[in-house]
Structures are given as structure tokens and as C-alpha cells.
Structure 1
Amino acid sequence: MSPLRENRIDLVRGISLLLIFVDHASVSFSEMLQQSRGFSDAAELFVMMAGMSAVLAYHPAAGRADFATVAARTLARSFKLYRVHLTLLLALTTAVFLVPLPNHETLLSNWSLQPLAEDPARFAMEALFLRYLPAELDILPLYIVLIPTVPLWFALIGRSPRLAVAASILLWLSAGLFHVGLIDLSQPKGVWYFNPFSWQIVFLIGILAGLRVRQGLVAFPYRRWLFLAALAFCVGAVPANLLAHFGGYATDGPLRFLVSKTSEGPLRLINALAIVYVVFNLEVLRRTSPTGWLRPIFAAGRNSLPVFVTGTILSDIVTAFVIGSNGLPLPLEVGLVVLGVAIQLLLAVHLDRRKRRPSASPKRSMLVASTDDRDYGWQPPKVLPPMSNAARDPAT
């Protein structure tokens, strides 16, 4: 069976990358923008798309995946991301410590770099073992840990999908209730901001959806009542989260666990599922062409790793400007954000054009998986014709 191309993965991932850039840029409207998406944000969408794309890269269209082969490929990908993470950390710390920046101490505090300044040898070693993740460089480590679990999930799902879901839920609940996590000496609580024991459930949901796509089915089967419920939740979650966050309810009381980002609280998880369910069942998005006017965003999703790295560097530069100047005028902030988004989109389109050259060899372009044009990557002139839900899913 030939794999069904699901271009919405690239669309969602491309939009998520741009939102992550704005969220991390530390401009005056970053927090408001992040909280105005409901209880969840771009991180959940990105991790879920990562699970889907991992299936399309590592799982065969028919039969079971070979454990040893998948393990070797995912470990290689994980080590590549580890090297990218350390390169980003080295570049940032070199710039911060060598370039004379205004409000230097404030920048050190903002990026939790004081420990490294006070004891470079110790915290450089801690960084190598991913026990010190300063400067919001905590997203790639999450993938570094999640990617090697792909063959384990494949094996468990092949045995019993229900068993895999039950194991994931148990691990998610245990991590949240008993605060099981990995050490991060840059965080006030001393644990990873993105707890992989909690966030694995988002990744697994993506894997399960990806397996349906791999079999030629729709990722999230349409049910009218479920679509309307998901849409209502998405809409209602926006004012509810704004009230909870800016009213202080999200940091105190029982609501704190329900919206915890570290533990992937239940409201965040439900909200992320609702958003993805709506997005994957909107007819207008299903018919959106990856070669049309949204091509740069699709391209960003297809070239997620270089775009993510670029966005991280640009967001740090904007943050340095904002903190170094004790705040910037709103028009200048908007201009910097627009410029940063434009740079990322131009880079994505450039990388896409390079892939279209006949002499170009297939590139690894996905943040958590590697693939080629025959499997999942973009085939410029070829777009599959629309298919009805009934045609793709016998259950409907």
C-alpha cells in the first residue's frame, strides 16, 4: 500500500515554528500571544506532529517495523539533534560572554547563565549530560529523549495498541502526580521544563495518528458531534486561559496542575487534541495546496530543523535587543518579529528550491525524523487529489 501524503503535518509544524519564534522573542506581546491560544500552545502541536512524522519516516506501510533498524536510525537522529543542541548552546554562551552587551547581568539572569559564569567547568560538564539547559534551550533535549522511544512504541503498539495507550497514561499520571522528572540545574524547580515522562503521551498520540495515515486512513476520523465539541472547547479555552493566567489562578490552587506545562496538565492535553482534531477535519485545510500561497509555511514545516535553529538564534537576538534597551517601541518590536518570520520563510523556500534541483540528493529535513521524497518529503509537481473521509476511512 502506498503511503497517504498528509500535508497538514507540514502546515501545522510550519505555523508552530513561527509561533515558537514569537513566543521566545520576549517582545511585549509574546506572552499575550502565547496565552491567547488556549490552555495549550505551539509546543504540543509540534510534538504531536513529530510523532506523526516519525511514523511516516520509520514505519513501513505494511507489516511491522524492524526493531533493530528503527532503533539504529532513531539513535542516529537523536545524536544529530544532540550535536545541534550543543552547538546552539556554545554559540549563545560565546556571544553572551564575549560580546559586550548592555544589561549584561539581566541577560545572564534571563537565560539562567549565572551558574555557567560562576563555575564554567562544572556547568559545561552538566550541559554535556543535559542536566543544565539554560537560555530556553530545552526543546531539542525533549526530542533527544523521545526519538529513541519510537521503536519501543512500535513494538508495544504492534502487540496491543490499548496496552501502549494504558502504559503511556500510567507514565503520564505518575510523572505528574509524583513529580518524576529529569534534573535541570537551570530551572528554579531543578527539573526539565518539558518533562519527557509527561510529554511522551503527546508524542504517542502523534504516533497513533501517524500509523493511521501510514495505512491510508484519515489521522483523526470525523464525527460531527466530536468536531463540534472540539471546536467549542477550542473557542472557550481562549478566554478561560487568559483569565486563569493573567488572573493568577494558573499558578495557585488546584488549577495549577491542570494547566501545568511541565507535567502536560489534563486541560493542556485535551486542548491540544481538540485543536488538532479540528485542524485535521477542516475541509478548507484538507484542500489547501502545498504549492499555493501558503507554500513558505509548508516549506518551513518540511525543513523544520534548520528553520527551528534559525528561529532560535533570531529570537535570542531579539531578546538581547529588548533587554539591552530596557524595552523597545511597539512598532520596532513588530518590525523585528516580521523580519524574523520573513527570514525563516525565505530560508525554508530556499531549502525547498535546492531539493528541486535534479542533481540534489535527498536531505534530512525533519526535526525528529529523516526521510526522502519517495516516502514523505515534498514532490513539487505531484499533489494527491482530494479524498472523502469515507474513501479513506471504512469506519465512516
Structure 2
Amino acid sequence: MTLNGRDHRIDFFRGLALIFIFWDHIPHNPLAEFTVRNFGFSDAAEIFVFLAGYAAVLAYGKIAQRDGLLVASVKILRRAWVLYVVHIFLLAVLMGIVFFANNHVETRDLVQEMGLQYFLSNPQQALTDELLLRFKPNLMDPLPLYIVLLLGLPLVLPMLLRKAGYVVAASLALYLLAPVWNLAAQEGGVWFFNPMAWQFLFILGGAAAIHGQQPKAAQNRPLSRQPVFVGAVLYLLVTGLLALSWRWPQFHDALMPLWLGEYLYPISKTNLSPVRLLHFLALAYVAAKVVPHGNWLNNRVARQACRMGRYSLEVFCLGVILAPLADMLNALGGDGFVVKVFSALMGVGIMAVLAAWLDWNKRLNRK
């Protein structure tokens, strides 16, 4: 199979996920009430990892078909190395920003909230753990996960391009072992995003990229008569109602049977609980069916989101830096509603400006 061009809807949803991640990372941000995590079991992290797998397989799969697997593997490993260097640099910048902000905010201990107390109490071990990807303060978990997933991609890419079903089956088996298998983190802990679990979502994204290149038979039945679509919509409605009920414990207790609550909770994000995974897959399936290709991607807002999605690494790193700055601004502003909304929107604006500059710089280099 020959892999072709990219689906610009993928860029749009990656950009949207970056905005949601940034808003979710700002404590007590009013705009975070409108992100996907409030309306179901999954959140923007699932979107980001799934589309990362989609984009990686689409990009490096084309390189493998054109230039060979060796060239593709070298480029994947080079990309992983760049991410590793970025991770170390970003952590140093983040610590500097948090220490600076902590000196100006008297009502809270931002160092403790960001998980940086370990560095102050044991700096030598923290530096070693940073190099081994074991020291991951708040906001820093997605990047080490992506590094590990990329390092494993050359091992599965050849089979993924030929027999994606076999790779998905093997990935599922590894996912089922995730609750008893995780990587070590600082102070005897484990990774917040268990790579053994989240690799399944990454592989599913890659398999979706390959499946999207295959010719599809025309589907004449309306969506309301397609059982999978109807089932996905019903699951989204039920889980959305349940997630909203968490705001009102009495209503939730009346809605949730005791036996079902014991089975359902806790909904693990670390090990990508099956109900989280199923919620995201239902969301992705419905979005793929309902959101069309078309001119709507050419309007100004959609173009900005697509541009942010195309430069997801740079925009994500900037969001990690801006989140504690926005938190500091909110605290200095007395945590007022207007200040919180302003800081959240200003951060997205800065992220959009970075993406626009990177896009302009790329076109300039081509010329």
C-alpha cells in the first residue's frame, strides 16, 4: 500500500487538543470547563497520543516506502533524540519559571504544586533521574511518553505497513498487561502515563492512518441506521451524562448503581482504563463520520488550529512554559474571572503566533 497525503482534519484536531491541554494545565481556569474532559471519560491526552501515532506512521511510513526502512528508522531515532534534548531543556526552563513565579506569589507554594520539591531536596539524584526520564514534574509527562513511543516505532513499522492487524493484536496483549507493568519514576514512583498502556492508543492511531489510505466502499445508509455509529453516539451520551453528574454528588449517587460504581471506579488515566479508551474511540469514530472535509478548514480560526497542529511539538513546549506564567498572572491578579479568561486566551494567542511564525519561516526557507 502506498501512503498518500495528509488529512487536514488531523492537523485541526491536534491544534484543538493543544489548546485543551494548555487550558487544562492552568489551575482554576474557567475556559477549562469547556474542554473535552468535562463531557466524558477521556480528555485531550488521548487525542494527542492517537493523532501522534497517526501522523508518525503516515510521515515515516511514506519515507520507508520511498527510501527504505533504514532511512526511516534513522529519521525516527533522530527525531527521538531531538525530543530528548528538548525535554531536558524544557525542564530547565520550566523550573526557572516556577522558581521565579514562586518568589512573586505569596499565597501558594507553586514549587510544591508543580512537583519540583524533589529537585530542591535531592538535586543530584533529580538530575540523574531527569537524564533517565524518571524525573517528570507536572506538565512534563507527555513528552517522555512520546519519546518512548517513537523509539519503539522502528520495531513495528514494517509489519504495521503490511499486516496492521497483527501489530494491533500484539499491542492489545501488551495493553492488557499494563496494570502490572510500568516504568520507574522518581522516589520509587511510576510513570503517570504508563507506556505499556498508552502504546496501544499510539498503535491504533498508526493503524487508522493506514486504514484511511485504503479505498472505501460507498456507504449508502444514513448514519442513524449504522449500528456502530449509533452505539458510539449512545455511549458518548451516557458517559457524558455521567461525567456531568460528578459535579453534583447527590445526583450522581442516585444515577449510579452501587455495583456498577464498584466496577467502574477508579477510571485510571495512568493505565488508560478500558472505559476511557472506549470513550475516546467512540469520540474519534463519531468525529470521523460527522466532521466533513471541506471549505470550513479554510476559515481563519480553523487555519490557525491546523497550523498549530502541524507544529505540535513547538506549540506544546510553549504551552508548558506559558501555563505556570498564566497561573502566576492569575494569582497576582487576585484570581479574578476576567484575569483568568484573559491569561488563557492570551496564551492561546501566543501559541498561534509561534505556529504562524514557524510556518512563515518554513515557506521562506523553501523559497
- TM-score (ref. length: structure 1): 0.80
Distance 1:215 1:149, change over 3 A: farther
2:41, 2:271 → 1: CA distance? 13
2:176, 2:67 → 1: CA distance? 28
Does residue 262 in structure 1 map to residue 261 in structure 2? no
Q: Percent same amino acid among aligned pairs?
A: 33
2:21: which partner in 1? 20
Is the Cα–Cα contact under 8 Å of residues 59 and 65 in structure 1 kept in the other structure?
no
Runs of 5+ unmatched residues, structure 1: 363-396
C-alpha displacement at 1:221, in angstroms? 12
Distance 1:63 1:296, change over 3 A: closer
Secondary structure of the residue aligned to 1:36 is: helix
CA-based RMSD of the aligned residues comes to: 3.0
1:201: which partner in 2? 200
> What is the aligned counterpart of 1:361 among 353, 361, 366?
366
1:62, 1:31 → 2: CA distance? 40
Secondary structure of the residue aligned to 2:265 is: helix
1:245, 1:206 → 2: CA distance? 32
Runs of 5+ unmatched residues, structure 2: none
Secondary structure of the residue aligned to 2:138 is: coil
C-alpha displacement at 1:28, in angstroms? 4.2
> What is the aligned counterpart of 1:58 among 30, 46, 60?
60
2:352: which partner in 1? 345
- TM-score (ref. length: structure 2): 0.86
Distance 1:2 1:171, change over 3 A: closer
C-alpha displacement at 1:27, in angstroms? 2.4
2:220, 2:345 → 1: CA distance? 36
1:138: which partner in 2? 141
Range that drifts further, 266-275 or 59-68: 59-68
Is the Cα–Cα contact under 8 Å of residues 29 and 344 in structure 2 kept in the other structure?
no
Distance 1:96 1:61, change over 3 A: closer
C-alpha displacement at 1:200, in angstroms? 0.5
The amino acid across from 1:192 in the alignment is W
Please identify which structure carries the higher helix content.
Answer: 2
C-alpha displacement at 1:298, in angstroms? 0.8
C-alpha displacement at 1:309, in angstroms? 1.4
C-alpha displacement at 1:138, in angstroms? 0.7
Distance 1:320 1:147, change over 3 A: same
Distance 1:150 1:125, change over 3 A: same
The amino acid across from 1:17 in the alignment is L
Query: For residues 289-304 of structure 1, what are the structure 2 equivalents within 5 Å?
Result: 289-293=296-300, 294-304=302-312
The C-alpha deviation readout for 1:16-57, integer Å capped at 9, x for no partner, is 000000000112436644531310011111111111111221
The amino acid across from 2:361 in the alignment is R
Range that drifts further, 290-299 or 141-150: 290-299
2:322: which partner in 1? 314
Range that drifts further, 64-73 or 326-335: 64-73
Is the Cα–Cα contact under 8 Å of residues 193 and 271 in structure 2 kept in the other structure?
yes
1:182: which partner in 2? 183
Q: How many residues align?
A: 351
Distance 1:45 1:96, change over 3 A: closer
Is the Cα–Cα contact under 8 Å of residues 15 and 307 in structure 2 kept in the other structure?
yes
Secondary structure of the residue aligned to 1:310 is: helix
